[in-house]
Amino acid sequence: NAGVTQTPKFQVLKTGQSMTLQCAQDMNHNSMYWYRQDPGMGLRLIYYSASEGTTDKGEVPNGYNVSRLNKREFSLRLESAAPSQTSVYFCASSPLQGSSEAFFGQGTRLTVV
């Protein structure tokens, strides 16, 4: 089992460029999440999807959009990248909200110059 797969692993963008971070899980999980991790700030929730067809904002959604394409895939889009979005991005999934562990992907290290 691959678990949670994120692509790409590394990316450098110029300010104003757009890109989509991809996340796919093969565990038939219902819930999926996007987090960003910055030094001293922990893991901050950007968006989450409780189930296929639903998405909700987390703590820091500004500047991002998401798509729950199907049960397996949950993508994160930066429409116009800014240096403040330089971060490590983690995707996670869990079978059920409220009662089960979350499995994390290996992360995407994004630098916006």
Partner 1 sequence: QQPVQSPQAVILREGEDAVINCSSSKALYSVHWYRQKHGEAPVFLMILLKGGEQKGHEKISASFNEKKQQSSLYLTASQLSYSGTYFCGTEGGGGSNYKLTFGKGTLLTVNP
Per the structure block, which two tokens stand in for 35? Answer: 């987090």
Parallel, antiparallel or unpaired: strands 10-13 and 4-7: unpaired
Return the number of the residue (72 or 109) whose C-beta is nearest partner 1.
109
Cα–Cα distance, 88 to 38 (Å, whole number): 7
If the CB atoms of residues 65 and 103 are measured against partner 1, the closer one turns out to be 103
Contact 13, 113 (CB under 8 A): yes
Instruction: Write down the least CB distance from residue 71 to partner 1, Å.
Output: 17
Taking contact as CB under 8 A, which single stretch among the options 9-17, 65-73, 77-85, 90-98 is the one that binds partner 1? 90-98
Kindly identify the residues of this chain, within the stretch 9-48, that bind partner 1 according to CB under 8 A: 33, 35, 40-45, 48
Establish if 97 lies at the interface with partner 1 (CB under 8 A): yes
Nearest to partner 1 of 5, 17 (CB atom):
5
Residue 83 is classified by DSSP as G
CA distance 63 to 83: 12
